[in-house]
Amino acid sequence: MFNSTTCRESARYSGFSLVELLVVIVMAGVLATAGYSLFREQSRVNQSQRNLLEMQGNGRAALNFLTQSLSHAGFGCSETNASFILFSNNASSQGPDVVTVLYGSDHVATTTNNSTDSNIVPISLVSGKTVNVSNEVSFYPSIRPNKAYRVTTSGTSITLNSEVEYVPGGAKVFRVFPVEYRQAGNVLQRTDSVGPAIVAYEVVNFQMAYSTVNPPVWREDSGAINNPRAVWLYLILRTREPVAGVRHGQQFVLPWNNATSFAVANAEDGLYYQEFQAQVWIRNAN
């Protein structure tokens, strides 16, 4: 038989009490806070990993590009004892270096007389060859065999955009293609006759050393280098986006000179910094 009294008593004690609801709400808040903290930390870790992978890929790509470029310095020139590399080195101030690489095309003319402190050089063209205005040329032998000059007037003598210090009669005139690598702000640029192009982003420093002997003895002095055999590339890159919790206090040491250590200028907390390096052997060196 149906007992209405029993039913009313059961309904009276069904559901949650206020204390139970408060306990559930507090526990849900604790779990939500823990979940959000875990999500935020995991997001930070993922962002750090993405930044590191991006920087490492950027650095490896830059080294591969520079290695390919410098290893072929002087390619196309018949004089293998001129490797066509010019350094502007700022090692004393630890500022970024500049390097110009020349790629030869062919032997287009020969000088007919000595030229000293002049931008006009008399030449005799090789049969079937021409030297046109806006061509870049280099001379071998000369005091500065790795220097490129732009031709502004052509004919039986060529007028250059700057003076040659000394070029003897009978020197070969090569048509060449100079390519300059320099750091501009936080990017590493490659500049040729077409214009600048970016090799790497977020570059903090760009340093180089070279050797003219084998086994290598590394040097950092500037100027046109007589037949370099190898180049040591050194880059410091940083991540693109800051991440909370990263503290920077790293000191870097030039790999060819342990006595030279330096901190990154204007280093920022939140960014990772990493060095990339490679030794490049020049194929056209004797």
Could you read off the pLDDT of 170-206 as tens digits, one per residue? 998 988 888 889 999 999 999 987 889 999 999 999 9
Instruction: Supply the pTM of this predicted model.
Output: 0.72
What is the Cα–Cα distance from 104 to 64, expressed in whole angstroms? 21
For residue 218, give the nearest of 280, 147, 262, 143 by alpha carbon: 280
Q: Over the stretch 105-130, which tens digit does the pLDDT of each residue have?
A: 678 999 999 999 999 999 999 998 99
Q: Say which residue, 276 or 261, is predicted with more confidence.
A: 276
Helix (H) or strand (E) holding 49: helix 18-71
Tell me whether residue 238 is exposed, middle or buried, using C-beta atoms within 10 angstroms of its C-beta: 0 to 12, 13 to 18, 19 or more.
buried
Among the ranges given (40-49, 101-110, 127-136), the one the predictor scored with the smallest mean pLDDT: 40-49
Q: What pLDDT band is residue 80 in, cutting at 50, 70 and 90?
A: very low
Handedness of CA 121, 124, 125, 126 (dihedral sign): negative
Rounded to 5 degrees, φ, ψ at 99 are -135, 140
Note the pLDDT of residue 144.
Answer: 75
Neighbours of 136 (CB within 10 A): 20
Identify residue 208 by its one-letter amino acid code.
Answer: M
